[in-house]
Amino acid sequence: MPVDISISKPSIEPLHCELLRRTGVAVNILRLDKCHPLLSGNKWYKLKYNLLEFQQRRELPILSFGGAYSNHLHALAAAGMLFGMRTIGVVRGEMPEPLNPVLTFAKEQGMTLLPVSRGDYRRKDEANFLEGLRGKFGNFHLLPEGGSNSLAIKGCEEIAPLLKWQNADSKQLVALCCGTGTTMAGLISGLSKIHGDNAPQVLGISVLKGDGYLQSEILSQLAACGCADPADWQVDDTHHCGGYARSNAALQSFLREFAGFSDVPLEPVYTGKLFYALFDLIEKGMICEGTEIVAIHSGGIHN
Q: Which pLDDT score, from 0 to 100, does residue 303 have?
A: 47
Euclidean distance between the first and final Cα of the chain, in Å? 28
Q: Which pLDDT score, from 0 to 100, does residue 168 have?
A: 84
Choose among 165, 207, 205, 188: nearest CA to 293.
165
Q: Are residues 188 and 292 in the same domain?
A: yes
Q: Are residues 143 and 233 in the same domain?
A: no
Q: Are residues 143 and 183 in the same domain?
A: no
Choose among 45, 7, 6, 10: nearest CA to 30.
10
Q: Which pLDDT score, from 0 to 100, does residue 169 have?
A: 86
Residue 303 lies in a domain: no
Q: Which pLDDT score, from 0 to 100, does residue 301 have?
A: 64
Q: Which pLDDT score, from 0 to 100, does residue 4 have?
A: 56
Local confidence pLDDT in tens for the 303 residues of the chain: 444 578 889 999 999 999 999 999 999 999 999 999 888 899 999 999 999 999 999 999 999 999 998 999 999 999 999 999 999 999 999 888 899 999 999 999 999 999 999 999 999 999 999 999 999 999 999 999 988 999 999 999 999 999 999 888 899 999 999 999 999 999 999 999 999 888 999 999 999 998 999 999 999 999 988 887 667 999 999 999 999 889 999 999 999 999 999 999 999 999 999 999 999 999 999 999 999 999 999 997 654
Q: Are residues 138 and 185 in the same domain?
A: no
Residue 68 identity:
A
Q: Are residues 94 and 214 in the same domain?
A: no
Q: Residue 6: is it exposed, middle or buried by C-beta count within 10 angstroms (0-12/13-18/19+)?
A: exposed
Q: Which pLDDT score, from 0 to 100, does residue 158 have?
A: 96
Q: How many domains does the chain have?
A: 2
Residue 122 lies in a domain: yes
Q: Are residues 47 and 176 in the same domain?
A: no
Residue 146 lies in a domain: yes
Residue 5 lies in a domain: no
Residue that is last in its domain, among 117, 150, 183: 150
Q: Are residues 31 and 180 in the same domain?
A: yes
Q: Which pLDDT score, from 0 to 100, does residue 141 have?
A: 98
Choose among 211, 208, 217: nearest CA to 183.
217
Q: How far is the C-alpha of 300 from the C-alpha of 237, rounded, in Å?
A: 19
Containing structural domain, residue 213: 12-35+153-297
Q: Are residues 68 and 196 in the same domain?
A: no
Q: Are residues 90 and 207 in the same domain?
A: no
The string of pLDDT tens digits covering residues 118-142 is: 999 999 999 999 999 999 999 999 9
Q: Are residues 136 and 182 in the same domain?
A: no
DSSP reduced 3-state for 208 = coil
Residue 3 lies in a domain: no
Residue 2 lies in a domain: no
Q: Which pLDDT score, from 0 to 100, does residue 272 have?
A: 97
Residue 1 lies in a domain: no
The string of pLDDT tens digits covering residues 26-84 is: 999 999 999 998 888 999 999 999 999 999 999 999 999 999 989 999 999 999 999 99
Cα-Cα-Cα-Cα dihedral of 183, 201, 290, 26, to 10°?
Answer: 0
**In sequence order, which residues have a C-beta less than 8 Å from that of residue 198 and are 6 or more positions away?**
none
Q: Which pLDDT score, from 0 to 100, does residue 190 have?
A: 95
CATH of the domain at 292: 3.40.50.1100
Q: Are residues 30 and 65 in the same domain?
A: no
Choose among 30, 32, 51, 53: nearest CA to 41.
32
Backbone angles phi, psi at 171, to 5 degrees: -75, 120
Residue that is last in its domain, among 118, 150, 182: 150
Q: Which pLDDT score, from 0 to 100, does residue 89 have?
A: 98
Whether the upstream peptide bond of residue 268 has omega within 30° of 0, thus cis, is: no
Residue that is last in its domain, among 150, 166, 192: 150
Backbone angles phi, psi at 140, to 5 degrees: -155, 160
Q: Are residues 23 and 171 in the same domain?
A: yes
Q: Which pLDDT score, from 0 to 100, does residue 6 have?
A: 80
